[in-house]
Amino acid sequence: NSGCCNPALGTSMPSLLLPDAQPILTALAILALTAACRFGFAVVTRLLGTSKRLLWPAAGAMASLPFVLREPLLAWWGGTYADAQLGSFLAATAFAWCFFRAIERSVGTTPVGAAASLAEWIFYMSADVDPRYRDGKPLRPPPGKLRSQLAKLCATYAATAAFVSAIEPFGFRPTAAVCEACGVSGPLAAALVRVGDNLSGTVLIYLFLSLLLTLGSILVLAQGHDPIDGFDNPVFKSCSPREFWGRRWNLQVNAMLKRSCYKPLAGAGLAAPLATLATFGASAGFHEYQFALSMPGYRVGTASVFFLGQGLLLVAQSLLEATPLRHLASRAPLPLGVAFNITALSLVPDYFICNWIDLPTPLFGAVARLVPRIMWAA
């Protein structure tokens, strides 16, 4: 009875789909233009020094450039939005990196050594993953790190292909599909679907972003610099929202937002909970920008609801940690802590995951086109 709970697999035959070259080629073309823009912006921001009066308008102009160039470039290239989606996502991320790094330069939180020379500043501004610095000098990578990152890239690519093969037949919502096929209903089923589909969506986003950051790390390593880590197993080691967002999830964005938002606000005397909320507000703005450029049909504001909700969740955790309940969390075994964290993160409206799955041109579809995967056809 192999198909009783599996609508996609019950009477189906597998077929292998190979990666689609068109979105990859389009992404490479977009990234080549993006690299030229980042180089020019690095030179301009180096010449402007640390002046807020000059850097902030320059950063804003840089961030608006993709909106100006998108339509004419797509018309000239002759591709579709679906083909350009991956490149648009990567370009939006790269332009946002430049924006935040210009802001941190203006507020004095740039890593010491990153602006030591024009060449070092250009490298820092164009790096997809932060290089490490110590005593004002870039750190050199330890022996074997490039080889280990290449192995990690291959392993992450294989894991992404396997996971896409597992959940794409269910429309990237495996828990909902299985519950529906098995006739499970009611409030408990709704809760399981909410948590389960959020978990599977988070895992796929984690794999995809880890793939990108590992590739970025390899590019940094190839130039003789030691990059920071991209993730620290956020899904299966985090026991609380604060640990998830603050110490394990997307450490590149985490470090950049701390430098450009949290540290300046906290240093100016803003209370830690308010600085945390403001930092999640900056994260919301970054994702609004990223999604508006790469997700046709995106409803403006939905990413903000999610990230501001997560910020409130961290504030609530801070309040709970001031009570005796904090001892319960510290004594919980790891599996229970992980389950608690996934459930807690699911309390916030799941607009973030929905934007990756439910739009007319879903970004999960673009991720699937990057990898070989098994599809099931009747």
Question: CA nearest 140: which of 130, 148, 131, 149?
Answer: 131
Residue 330 confidence (pLDDT): 65
Residue 229 confidence (pLDDT): 95
The helix/strand/coil state of 339 is helix
For tokens 């060449």, name the residue. Answer: 119
pLDDT along the chain (378 residues), means of 10: 45 81 92 93 89 86 87 78 91 94 93 94 96 94 96 97 94 88 83 91 97 97 96 94 94 96 94 92 95 92 94 89 71 86 89 90 94 78
Residue-wise burial string across 233-267, b where 16 or more C-beta atoms lie within 10 A, e elsewhere: ebbeebbbbbbbbbebbbbbbbbbbbbbbbbbbbe
